[in-house]
Amino acid sequence: MTDYVILTESTCDLTQEMADNFNLEVVRLHVILDGKEYENYLDGRELSFKDMYDSMRNKKLPTTSQVNTQAFTEAMEPILASGKDILYVAFSSPMSGTQNSGRLAAEDLLEKYPDRKIEIVDTLAASLGEGFAVYMAAKKKEEGLSLEDNAAYVRNLVPHLAHTFTVTDLMHIMRGGRATKSSAVIGSMLGIKPMMHVNDEGLMEPLGKVRGRKASIRRVVEIVKENMVSTELPYFVGHGDCEDEAMELAEILKSELGLKNVFVNYLGAICGCHAGPGIIGVFYYGKKR
């Protein structure tokens, strides 16, 4: 049966249109900027992505807060009460306590609704890496895959959720604790652009370093070419308010690598405020992470 709902967090950075089309249930994290708290909607309706990145360019440092157990309960209970089950495709647990909040809510609710099921998959992924897993789960649900089989499918995706990206510097990632300590060694070199990925443990770490912006974006393409397994699967290009470069990268992926389905979107406020303006990368199914 496919009588279940896919639940995820706003960290997936899919578009609101995709969430609506797939009937996703999206719980929202929060961003705090200048003492004001904003809900992180996929369409940036409370705090636009551009405004958030501009604030960072002006040396303002937004912070984030995870989803609490009550918010998960409020999202999950109506689904269970309606007789449907839940597939929760979750943000990397080493990066946030959000998934643990969801797990605690699920455990409590299953005592109240013992006939219902909640499958939880830790993607060990962030932003459009998590988004890729959500997107593929939604596609499989449309094809009629059962809750249990879809959860198994997504778990099999996890070791292949590749995040290949470059950042202008590592200040924001290190400040947010989203990167391993070894990343710091390449953070302050003049003109050096760190190449990053999310490792098997679900944390950001360096892949190397390249001198100059154009060279770093070129290196993203090279790494994707080396690691990709299919031209048919979707590829997501995410960016931190550098849309022109992101669109150019998408065209290169199509023309040079023959990719058929390339989506371009902002990295939203949650992941974006830990990566900073100018982040750009590709999120896809790779031979390895």
Per-residue pLDDT band for 233 (boundaries 50, 70, 90) equals: very high
d(CA 137, CA 22): 10
Range of the domain at 81: 4-157
Q: What is the domain count for the chain?
A: 2
d(CA 269, CA 41): 9
Per-residue pLDDT band for 107 (boundaries 50, 70, 90) equals: very high
pLDDT above 90 (res 208):
no
Higher pLDDT, 275 or 281: 281
Query: Which pLDDT value is given to residue 265?
Result: 98
What lies within 8 Å, CB to CB, of 195 at 6+ separation is 164, 165, 166, 206, 207, 208, 209, 210, 216, 219, 220, 223
Higher pLDDT, 176 or 265: 265
pLDDT above 70 (res 69):
yes
d(CA 6, CA 135): 10
Same domain, 144 and 212: no
Terminal CA-CA length for the chain = 32
Q: What is the pLDDT of residues 136-164, one digit of tens each?
A: 999 999 999 999 999 999 999 999 999 99
- The domain boundary, picked from 157, 185, 220, lies at 157
- The domain boundary, picked from 131, 157, 183, lies at 157
pLDDT above 80 (res 174):
no
- The domain boundary, picked from 122, 157, 192, lies at 157
Same domain, 100 and 110: yes
Q: What is the pTM of this model?
A: 0.93
Query: Which pLDDT value is given to residue 105?
Result: 98
- What is the residue-averaged pLDDT of the chain? 93
d(CA 43, CA 32): 17
Q: How many other CB atoms are there within 10 angstroms of residue 182's CB atom? A: 9
CATH of the domain at 140: 3.40.50.10170
pLDDT above 80 (res 183):
no
Per-residue pLDDT band for 168 (boundaries 50, 70, 90) equals: confident
